[in-house]
Amino acid sequence: MSIDLNDPALLDYSQRPPRHPEPVDPANDGLPIPLNVRTDLYKRVQELRQFEKRAYDLFMQNLVKGTSHLSLGMEAVSAGFAAAMQPEDYVFATYRGHAHTLSKGADMGQVMAELLGRENGLLKGKGGSMHLTHAEANMMGSYAIIGAHLCIANGTAWSAQMRGTDQVTVCFFGDGTTNIGAFHEALNFAKVWNLPVVFVCENNLYMEYTPIDLVAAVPNPAADRAPAYGLESIVVDGNDPDAVYMVAADAITRARRGEGPALVEAQTYRHGGHSRADPGKYRPADEVEAWLDRDPIPMYHQRLLRLGVPEGRLSEITQDVARRVDEATEFAKAGAHPGEEHLFTDVWADGGSAWRN
Amino acid sequence: MAELTYRDAVAYGIAQEMRRDPNLVMLGEDIAGAGGVFKTTVGLLDEFGPARIRDTPISEQAILGAAMGAAMTGIPVIAEIMFSDFIAVCFDLLANEMAKSAYMTGGQLSVPVVVRTANGGGSRFGAQHSQSVENWCMMIPGLKVVAPSTPADVVGLMAASIRDPDPVVFFEHKSLFASKGEIPEGEIVDELGTARVVREGTDCTIAALALMVPRALEAADRLADEGISAEVIDVRSLVPLDTKTVLASVEKTSRLYTVEENPRLCGWGAEVASIVADEAFWDLDGPIVRITTPHIPLPAAEALEDMAIPSVDRIYETVSKTIG
Ligand SMILES: Cc1ncc(C[n+]2csc(CCOP(=O)(O)OP(=O)(O)O)c2C)c(N)n1
Ligand SMILES: [Mg+2]
C-alpha cells in the first residue's frame, strides 16, 4: 500500500471514499430465535436508544458535565450479547459504557445520576460517565485508558476457571483498541491459558476522529488479527440484534464449555460524534446517511412486525421505556451534589484514605 | 529460630500464606518451573502445584491485568514483575487501574493484589535493570508501597501485604538477596505502615529504606567511634508512612538525614523532609539533609555505580561533616 501524501482525503477525512454498510441479510428473519427473546431484544435496544438520547439532551442542557460517549446506533451489539449472557457472567466495557452497564441491569436512574455527578449516582458521583460499574451484577467496570481492560477481563475469566464455575467474561472495546499492545497481550494470554472470555470489538469504523482503515494494517482490525492468536475470524453485522445474538450465544456457549476464548468483530456505526458535542464532520456525508438508513431499531421493528408481533405490543414496550427514562431523569435531577464527606472515602478497601499516621 | 537468606525468605513468606489461604495464587514470568530468575520462588511449584503458581508469557500488562481481574472477584493474587524497571511497561495497570478502582467505583471494587518486584542497584546491570523505583509508586494515590530490609521483614511484611485488601507494591532488593537473618518460629505477620527504630541514638536520626538500612547502620557504627550517636530508622513502608516514629525520633535527636537509593528528584525522603519541616521545625537544630543517588541514570561499571548509590562512606562523611 502506498500513501499519496497529497491526497485531499488525508487532510479532510470527510473527503474519503465512504464505507457503506452491508445490507441486512434477509435470511436473518428466519434465525432460530424464540419470539420472546426477540421481544426482549427489542426492549433492550429501545432502553439503550432512549437512555442515550436523553443523556445527549441533558448534555446539551449542560447538566452532564465533563464528557460522555454514547452508543447511539450501536445498541444491537450490547443488547445481543446481554441477551445471550447469564446473570453471573462478567462484563467489561470502555468509557463508551452506558449501554453495557444498563444491559447488565444497572438502574437507569442511578446511571443517569452518575452522569449528572450526583450523590445518588451509581458511583456516588466519583467515577462519572466513563467508569460506570455495577459489581453486584458482575458488571466489572468501564475503563478509559485504551486496552487495559482486556487484560483485566482475563482476570475474572481466570477466577472463574480457578473456582470451577461456568461463568464467562465478555469484554467490549473499539476498533481503535486493536492497535494497542494490551490488546495483543490479552489475546495471546487468554489463548495460552484457555480462558473463558469473549472479546467483542465494536467496530464503528473510527477511533476518535481518524478512520480505522488509515491506521490498521488489515481491513478487519480485530477479525483479521484473530488467527495470529489461534482464534477464529468472526465478523458479524453489529446492527442486527438477531445476528449478534446468534454469534454471542455461540461464542459464550463454547467458552462456557471450556473451549477457550473468542474474538468477535461486530461492524456498526455511531450515529453521533465520538464524545460530547463532537459533530463528527470528519465522516463523509453519504456514509453517515447510509448508516442512518441501516439504523438497527426501525429495521428490527419491521422484522418483529413481519414475524407477527403486533404493533401495539411494540409501542407498549417503547412507551414503557420512555416512561422509565423520564423517571430516571427525575431521579437523577433530584439528586444532591455530593458533599465534602465523599471526597476522602473509598481510596482504600476500608473506606478511608489515610496514607500516614 | 532459623537463619534464612533474604532470597529464601521470599518463598518462605509466600509459602506461609499459601498454606493459610488455599485461594491465594501467584503468576509471573519464569516463577514456576524455573523458581524465579532470582530464585526467590524455588519450591513453590512443587508444594502448591501449577494451578496456583503459574508461568506467564512476557506480557507485563497481561500479568497485572489478570491479577487485578481475579482480585476483583475476591481471589488474592501475587504478581511478580521480574525487575522493577519493567513497571514502566505496565504502569497503566498499576497507576490508572488497580490504584483507582476502589475510589472510582464508589467502593464497589477492591483489588487485593501484591505486586512483587526486584528493585535496586548494586548488580552492575546498568540503567534499565538497577533502578530504585519506589518513588514511582509512592506518588500514586491508591497504592501501598513496602520495601523490607531483612529476611524477617520480608516474611512479616509479605504476610501483611497479602492480607491487605488493597494493591501493595512489594519491593525486594536485589543486593539484599544473599543477606542472612534470623526468622522467628511460627507464623509471622507484620503490619504495614510501621517504621522501626533499628538503632537507638541521641544526636541525629538517619531514616533509610531497604539496602540503605544496613549501610546506615554501618555508618552509625563508625559515627559512634567519633562520639556521634545516630538513631537509625528502617522506614519499611512508604505508604502508609509511619511519620509518628520519625517525628518522635527527630523530637529526641533534633537532626534528620534521609538515605535514599532513588534518584534525587521526588525521592521518598523529600516527602519525609517536608513533613518534618512542617511539623517538627522547632525541634530541628540544623537543616534536614538528604543523601541520595544523584539525578542520573545508573551507570553499569562497578566503579561508577558505587559512586552513584549512597555508600557507607558517603553516609558517614555527610553526617560527620554536617552535624556540627
Ligand atoms: C491509551 C490511550 N490512548 C488514547 C486515548 C484517547 N482516546 C480515547 S477514546 C479513543 C478512540 C478509541 O477508539 P475505539 O477503540 O475505536 O473506540 P470507540 O471510541 O470508537 O468506541 C482515543 C484515542 C485513551 N483514552 N487511551
Ligand atoms: Mg471506534
Q: pLDDT tens digits, residue range B253-277? A: 999 999 999 999 999 999 999 999 9
Whether residue B188 is contained in a domain is answered as no
> Is A222's C-beta closer than 6 angstroms to any atom of ligand 1?
no
A357 touching chain B per CB within 8 A? yes
φ/ψ of residue B126, rounded to 5 = 85, -175
Supply the pLDDT for residue A7: 84
Q: How confident is the model at residue B36 (pLDDT cuts 50, 70, 90)?
A: very high
What are the per-10-residue average pLDDT scores of chain A (357 residues)?
A: 77 90 96 98 98 96 94 98 98 98 98 98 97 98 98 99 98 98 98 98 96 96 98 98 98 98 98 90 95 98 98 98 98 98 97 98
Structural domain that includes position B132 = 2-183
Supply the pLDDT for residue A1: 54
Regarding whether B145 and B236 lie in a shared domain, the answer is no
Regarding whether B273 and B127 lie in a shared domain, the answer is no
Mutate to test the pocket of ligand 1, among A130, A208, A225 (most ligand atoms within 8 A of CB): A208
In the residue annotation, B295 being an active-site residue is answered as: no
Domain termination site, one of B153, B183, B213? B183
pTM for the full model? 0.98
In this structure, the strands spanning B237-239 and A197-203 are unpaired
Alpha-carbon gap, residue B93 to B77, rounded angstroms: 14
Q: B165-179 pLDDT, tens per residue?
A: 999 999 999 999 999
> What value does the mean pLDDT take over residues B111-120?
98
Domains of chain A: 41-336 (3.40.50.970)
Q: All 3 cell numbers of residue A333?
A: 435531577
Q: Residues B111, B96: contact at Cβ < 8 Å?
A: no
Comparing CA positions, the residue from B164, B64, B47 lying closest to residue B112 is: B164
The complex scores an ipTM of 0.97
Regarding whether B160 and B265 lie in a shared domain, the answer is no
Domain termination site, one of B183, B216, B236? B183
Quick check: B1 pLDDT over 80? no
Domains contained in chain B, number? 2
Residue in A141, A145, A163 closest to B105 by CB: A141
Regarding whether B171 and B57 lie in a shared domain, the answer is yes
Supply the pLDDT for residue A71: 97
Regarding whether B206 and B125 lie in a shared domain, the answer is no
Domain termination site, one of B183, B218, B244? B183
| DSSP of B198-249 | EE--SSEEEEE-TTHHHHHHHHHHHHHHTT--EEEEE--EEETB-HHHHHHH
CB < 8 Å to A192, chain B: 57
Regarding whether B220 and B150 lie in a shared domain, the answer is no
Comparing CA positions, the residue from B112, B137, B94, B127 lying closest to residue B295 is: B127
Q: Residues A247, A264: contact at Cβ < 8 Å?
A: yes
In the residue annotation, B60 being an active-site residue is answered as: yes
Rounded to 5°, the CA angle A144-A147-A151 comes to 115
Supply the pLDDT for residue B151: 98
Regarding whether B157 and B16 lie in a shared domain, the answer is yes
**Best of B58, B101, B246 to mutate (most A CBs within 10 Å, chain A):** B101
Regarding whether B230 and B285 lie in a shared domain, the answer is yes
Q: 3-state DSSP call for residue B118? A: strand
What's B303's domain CATH number? 3.40.50.920
Quick check: B242 pLDDT over 70? yes
Supply the pLDDT for residue B324: 79
Supply the pLDDT for residue A274: 93
DSSP character for B98?
I
Whether residue B190 is contained in a domain is answered as no
Q: A196-206 pLDDT, tens per residue?
A: 999 999 999 99
Q: B283-311 pLDDT, tens per residue?
A: 999 999 999 999 999 999 999 999 999 99
- Catalytic residue (one of B60, B231, B260, B271): B60
Distance from CA of A296 to the nearest CA of B (A): 32
Q: B191-231 pLDDT, tens per residue?
A: 999 999 999 999 999 999 999 999 999 999 999 999 999 99
Regarding whether B161 and B12 lie in a shared domain, the answer is yes
Residue in B70, B105, B166 closest to A131 by CB: B105
Regarding whether B209 and B178 lie in a shared domain, the answer is no
Query: Could A185 and B102 be called an inter-chain contact, meaning their C-beta atoms sit closer than 8 Å?
Result: no
